[in-house]
Amino acid sequence: MTDPSPPPDAGEIMTVVHEAVGGIELEPAEKREIWRFTQRELPYLWSQRTSYFILGSYRDPYIRRLRAVQNELTKQLGAYPFIMGDLLELPTDRLNTFDIMFSLLATYSDYIVGVFEKESGGEAPELGEIDDPPYFDKSYVFPRDYAWVTDENLDSPQHVVQAALEIAFTDDLSADEVQANVESLVDRAQESGLDIDEQEVWDVIDERADEDEEPATYSWVHLNKFRKFELHERCFPWTTEDELRTEVDELPSPTPRPEWEEREDQ
């Protein structure tokens, strides 16, 4: 195999790589593998298509939701949605290859899309990476069952559904108590002017029970990071896969070019 030569913007790429590895000196073989990765994967990000770097858990059933997001974005002309696990790997034993690949892909992607359903796993540190510069301005999060202060704030259907799920999956409540509490919850929401149908709430509860999937739970750190995105109108909670597919429409479309890129050109 012919050794790959450095790309024209090798200096910029190596700046990203050196930050990812903490400034350690790279061996010649490691540089060659990095050039091979960049020549294979980065041209897709430099093309005229709009790229979406999709983050989340690769384990089943969570990977199915990542594929759902990828499939929805693929329907848009000019979109290039991708998952890092599908790309060429860096075959180096010494380096922290995940950090290198993540940094390069996150730097050169137009948008970063995080799908979250739990607080553990590889997606947890990814959330910590994208909630601050240089990635925050182009990042969007889709946390399942998320709602800020659900026990006090019932100002959206998502808040009501999340609160109902927590009631339904509480171990120390009988079926009758669950029924009464959910009905009371919906009544309070409707009295406050919220347009929500009780049967829709029960449909979600029944679906989650059939799938044997309890509501997603997050640490206080996760909730605060989601809240930060929410305040910037880049957090889109969802409960069912159909809702997730619908929420994907809230992402910026392939045209025009992203606002963060326009700001950097000024």
* Domain regions of the chain by residue span: 10-146+218-265, 157-210
Q: What is the pLDDT of residue 186?
A: 86
pLDDT of residue 200: 87
pLDDT category of residue 152 using cuts at 50, 70 and 90: low
Residue 238 is classified by DSSP as B
**51 vs 64: CA distance, rounded Å:** 20
Considering 136-150, 227-241, 250-264, the range whose residues carry the highest mean pLDDT is 227-241
Between 134 and 208, residue with greater pLDDT: 134
Tokens of 232: 């910037």
The pLDDT value recorded for residue 216 is: 82
**Which pLDDT does position 151 carry in this prediction?**
45
Q: What count of Cα atoms within 13 Å lies in the side-chain half-sphere of residue 35?
A: 17
Query: What CATH topology corresponds to 10-146+218-265?
Result: Rossmann fold (3.40.50)
pLDDT at 108: 95
Cβ contacts of residue 204 below 8 Å, gap of 6+? Answer: 161, 164, 165, 239, 240
pLDDT band at residue 260 using 50, 70 and 90 as cut-offs: low
pLDDT > 70 fraction of the chain, expressed in percent and rounded: 89
Cβ atoms of 123 and 76 closer than 8 Å = no
Q: pLDDT by residue (tens digit) across 196-252?
A: 888 888 988 888 787 777 778 788 788 889 989 999 999 999 988 999 999 999 999
Q: Are 220 and 214 in contact, with CB atoms under 8 Å apart?
A: no
Of 40-54, 80-94, 169-183, least confident by mean pLDDT is 169-183
Q: How confident is the model at residue 150 (pLDDT cuts 50, 70, 90)?
A: very low
- For residues 90 and 16, is the Cβ–Cβ distance under 8 A? no
User: If you average pLDDT over residues 41-68, what whole number do you get?
Assistant: 92
* 19 pLDDT more than 60: yes
pLDDT of 92 higher than 60: yes
